[in-house]
């Protein structure tokens, strides 16, 4: 439909009809026989309101959504189609590794493919919009939603944000197999005080602009059709009512002209934040901030008519919002085809297709991080007398907490993967998954928790028997998948005591232990280190995690992941990042001095740093060569190294480029990543890796608020983790 026709349509709509477009409800209100029950009354919604709604969330199924759309469009006075939205974060039914794992691949193509597969399956089941990518920068492992982010690094997150938007949307939203992306959570949600979800965020304007904004901007520049507000406050103003953030920064500065949707209930939560006394006041603040769609609360539907009639809110604000929503529906082609490409036939052929499952397995294999591998203990040989022990050994719930449409029956577990790989081994669960269900009671049915607790001793005995009879033990430990995700902050980020006890007891009878670590966040694994010859972090690897891990354990896949987020020595260090700032009392390494920036009881350095990961082979990196030693304004220089596979098997290495602005008008991070490249090398093969570093890429918010570089000395490193000392110097003119 032409924009002119959209404006024509808008002009024909009544005030109520326009307000209806801003309302988003869950699909159950509309499902056949769906009870128009309590929630509606609580929300002051009438039957008429319902048939004026603009969008629904959380309902999937091509036939179900077709029926809802047909019924709805018949009843709507202008037959305007509904938008169908849902959370497809790392896959619909074919579940990819969690985004924090995808970031560890250091290959944006992994996420582009993941988003493309997720879009294809989402479109097949009738969806139009996914509430993804989440691009919040995360540096606090206590926060459960770190699993949804691609990690702690500004530059890495930008590349993955762009890749995900491109994977979801392609070039044309109306094309089959594509859905609109909704970048979230705008803004700064990843830095809640004390790592506690939904808590206030206190960031300096400069840190916000230089570290937290870039990934959102990258996603907007990549064309993300929607942005979602965040629950948190920023500078003590809740995002959803923050006019400066939403109109001045998001729309005016960043040029976002798409649909801004609130997070679930976030408009009404302005009352709980106590910056609005009533739903009416919350509606006013959100409209003035430019929030177009209110998710799951009725402030707009119950108060906007009055606000506009009394002249408190200009009808032009409402018209703007409605037009953006109609434009989104138009870009999706819904006026011509309200069902887009959802169909039962597509659902049967596209969802969980062989190609998709293969893509998910390939992705998982790229994300695993080998943290320890003493004496090249891994890879194993299928002929080894093996034991697979641990509560994650045969656990089908190895997909992230936001895999809301996943089914455990689709998962290939580690045990099944090892069997499919032809290995013979004894399996023993060994221990319960958790010490207790505190905070996880709602997931009780997913874990045979009580039964495991009752049989704890028997489980351990069986495991010790298996360990005694084996040459080598694979110990599958880690977080239950619902221990990370939304509303899953943890103050203690160690493994459950029952799992640590299992590890210690097994290592007493068999010291040849490789730990496979399943987790949605960096953990404090100090107690694991001494008892494991190898530690392979597999995050939450998704539907095909089992075969991916098995292929890695047996050497058919050489792990190439690098940590997308530092593993702290202990929770006392968080938030932690390699990109920290100098202080007036900084020091390198260890210091015996009293009055320096350190702890009395723990080290400053993380247990494993950002960008770290081992391989089954080894690599050398030559000294850095530069194309020149000065960088002019708007100029660039090349920095190169030669990487060589010095081992005896093929491997991939991630070459990382870091820079430091030695002096500035404000303090500058001791290092910032400004490039990375993943290279595959055969044994003995070498390759030159060249980065083009631009002056533009080095700009920051200077003391006078400009985005610029400043003349002066720079240091550059190129290596295989954020701790590389392979450096060169240059100067910005």
Residue 264 sits in the site that holds ligand GLC (CB under 6 A): yes
Residue 263 sits in the site that holds ligand GLC (CB under 6 A): yes
| Least Å from the CB of residue 175 to ligand GLC | 23
Residue 216 sits in the site that holds ligand GLC (CB under 6 A): no
Residues 285 and 276: beta-carbon distance below 8 Å: yes
Could you give the string, one character per residue 77-96, with x where binding to ligand GLC holds by CB under 6 A and - elsewhere?
----------x---------
| Least Å from the CB of residue 91 to ligand GLC | 15
Q: Which is nearer to ligand GLC, 87 or 140 (CB)?
A: 87
Select from 29, 84, 92, 131 the one that contacts ligand GLC (CB under 6 A): 131
Q: Which is nearer to ligand GLC, 184 or 356 (CB)?
A: 184
| Least Å from the CB of residue 473 to ligand GLC | 39
Q: Which is nearer to ligand GLC, 176 or 265 (CB)?
A: 265
How is 551-581 classified by DSSP, letter by letter?
HHHTTSS------SS-B-SSGGG-S--SS--
- In whole angstroms, what is the distance from residue 114 CA to residue 464 CA? 39
243-262 residues near ligand GLC, rule: CB under 6 A: none
Task: Determine the residue with CB nearest ligand GLC.
Answer: 131
Sequence-separated (6 or more) residues with CB below 8 Å from residue 458: none
Q: Is 501 a catalytic residue?
A: no
Residues 213 and 161: beta-carbon distance below 8 Å: no
Site size for ligand GLC (CB under 6 A): 6
| Least Å from the CB of residue 108 to ligand GLC | 22
| Least Å from the CB of residue 266 to ligand GLC | 8
Residue 221 sits in the site that holds ligand GLC (CB under 6 A): no
Q: Which is nearer to ligand GLC, 263 or 653 (CB)?
A: 263
Could you give the string, one character per residue 683-702, with x where binding to ligand GLC holds by CB under 6 A and - elsewhere?
--------------------
- In whole angstroms, what is the distance from residue 705 CA to residue 684 CA? 49
Pairing of strands 712-719, 727-732: antiparallel
Q: Which is nearer to ligand GLC, 184 or 562 (CB)?
A: 184
- In whole angstroms, what is the distance from residue 679 CA to residue 87 CA? 33
Select from 235, 305, 394, 486 the one that contacts ligand GLC (CB under 6 A): 486
Sign of the torsion angle spanned by Cα atoms 515, 519, 525, 527: negative
| Least Å from the CB of residue 189 to ligand GLC | 8
- In whole angstroms, what is the distance from residue 374 CA to residue 474 CA? 15
Structure tokens at 336: 């011509």
| Least Å from the CB of residue 265 to ligand GLC | 8
Residue 697 three-state SS: helix
Active-site pick, 107, 140, 210, 263: 263
Residue 405 sits in the site that holds ligand GLC (CB under 6 A): no
Q: Give the residue from 227, 244, 94 showing the smallest Cα distance to 161.
A: 227
Pairing of strands 259-261, 294-295: unpaired
| Angle 486-489-490 from CA coordinates, rounded to 5° | 150
**Residue written as tokens 């392609």?**
170
Residues 463 and 378: beta-carbon distance below 8 Å: no
Structure tokens at 334: 């819904």
Q: Which is nearer to ligand GLC, 60 or 535 (CB)?
A: 60
Q: Which is nearer to ligand GLC, 305 or 486 (CB)?
A: 486
Select from 184, 251, 284, 429 the one that contacts ligand GLC (CB under 6 A): 184
The distance of Cα 604 from the centroid of its chain, to the nearest Å, equals: 26
Kindly list the residues in this chain that would bind ligand GLC in the complex (CB under 6 A).
87, 131, 184, 263-264, 486
Residues identified as active-site: 263
């Amino acid at each position: 439909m032409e924009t002119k026709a959209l404006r024509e349509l808008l002009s024909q709509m009544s005030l109520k009809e326009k307000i209806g477009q801003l309302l988003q409800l869950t699909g159950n209100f509309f499902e056949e026989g769906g009870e128009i029950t309590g929630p509606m009354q609580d929300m002051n919604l009438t039957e008429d309101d319902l048939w004026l709604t603009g969008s629904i969330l959380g309902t999937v199924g091509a036939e179900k959504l077709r029926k809802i759309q047909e019924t709805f469009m018949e009843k709507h006075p202008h037959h305007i189609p509904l938008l169908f939205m849902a959370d497809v974060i790392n896959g619909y039914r074919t579940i990819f590794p969690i985004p924090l794992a995808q970031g560890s691949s250091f290959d944006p193509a992994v996420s582009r493919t993941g988003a493309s597969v997720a879009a294809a399956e989402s479109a097949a089941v009738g969806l139009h919009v996914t509430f993804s990518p989440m691009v919040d920068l995360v540096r606090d492992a206590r926060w459960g939603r770190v699993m949804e982010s691609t990690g702690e690094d500004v530059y890495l997150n930008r590349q993955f944000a762009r890749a995900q938007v491109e994977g979801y949307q392609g070039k044309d939203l109306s094309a089959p197999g594509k859905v609109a992306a909704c970048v979230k959570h705008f803004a700064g949600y990843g830095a809640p005080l004390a790592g506690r979800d939904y808590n206030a965020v206190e960031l300096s304007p400069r840190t916000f602009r230089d570290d937290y904004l870039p990934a959102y901007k990258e996603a907007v520049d990549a064309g993300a059709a929607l942005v979602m507000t965040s629950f948190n406050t920023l500078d003590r103003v809740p995002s959803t009512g923050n006019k400066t953030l939403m109109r001045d920064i998001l729309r005016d500065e960043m040029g976002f002209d798409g649909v801004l949707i609130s997070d679930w209930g976030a408009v009404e939560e302005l009352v709980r934040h106590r910056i609005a006394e009533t739903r009416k006041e919350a509606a006013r603040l959100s409209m003035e901030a430019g929030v177009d769609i209110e998710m799951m609360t009725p402030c707009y539907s119950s108060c906007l008519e009055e606000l506009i009639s009394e002249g408190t809110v200009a009808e032009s604000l409402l018209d703007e919002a409605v037009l953006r929503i109609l434009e989104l529906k138009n870009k999706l082609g819904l006026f011509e085809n309200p069902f887009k490409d959802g169909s039962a036939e597509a659902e049967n052929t596209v969802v969980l297709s062989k190609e998709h499952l293969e893509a998910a397995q390939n992705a998982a294999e790229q994300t695993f991080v080998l943290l320890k591998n003493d004496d090249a203990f891994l890879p194993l040989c299928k002929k080894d007398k093996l034991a697979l022990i641990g509560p994650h050994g045969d656990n089908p719930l190895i997909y992230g907490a936001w895999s809301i449409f996943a089914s455990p029956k689709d998962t290939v577990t580690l045990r099944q993967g090892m069997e499919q790989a032809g290995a013979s081994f004894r399996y023993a669960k060994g221990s319960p998954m958790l010490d207790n269900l505190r905070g996880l009671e709602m997931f009780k049915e997913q874990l045979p928790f009580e039964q495991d607790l009752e049989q704890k001793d028997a489980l351990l005995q069986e495991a010790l028997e298996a360990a005694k009879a084996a040459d080598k033990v694979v110990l599958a430990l880690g977080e239950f998948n619902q221990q990370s995700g939304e509303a899953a902050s943890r103050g203690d980020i160690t493994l459950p005591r029952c799992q640590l006890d299992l590890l210690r007891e097994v290592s007493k009878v068999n010291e040849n232990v490789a730990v496979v670590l399943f987790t949605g966040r960096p953990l404090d694994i100090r107690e694991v280190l001494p008892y494991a010859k190898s530690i392979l972090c597999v995050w939450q690897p998704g539907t095909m995690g089992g075969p991916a891990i098995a292929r890695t354990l047996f050497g058919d896949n050489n792990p190439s992941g690098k940590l997308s987020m530092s593993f702290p020595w202990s929770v006392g260090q968080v938030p932690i990042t390699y990109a920290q700032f100098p202080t007036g009392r900084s020091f390198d390494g260890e210091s015996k001095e009293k009055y320096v920036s350190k702890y009395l009881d723990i080290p400053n350095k993380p247990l494993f740093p950002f960008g770290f990961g081992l391989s089954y082979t080894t690599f050398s990196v030559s000294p850095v060569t530069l194309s020149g030693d000065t960088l002019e304004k708007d100029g660039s220089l090349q920095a190169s190294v030669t990487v060589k596979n010095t081992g005896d098997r093929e491997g991939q290495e991630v070459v990382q480029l870091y820079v430091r602005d030695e002096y500035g008008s404000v303090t500058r991070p001791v290092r910032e990543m400004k490039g990375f490249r993943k290279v595959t090398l055969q044994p003995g093969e070498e390759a030159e890796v060249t980065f083009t570093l631009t002056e533009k890429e080095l700009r920051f918010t200077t003391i006078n608020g400009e985005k610029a570089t400043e003349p002066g000395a720079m240091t550059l490193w190129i290596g295989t983790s954020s701790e590389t000392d392979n450096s060169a110097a240059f100067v910005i003119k």
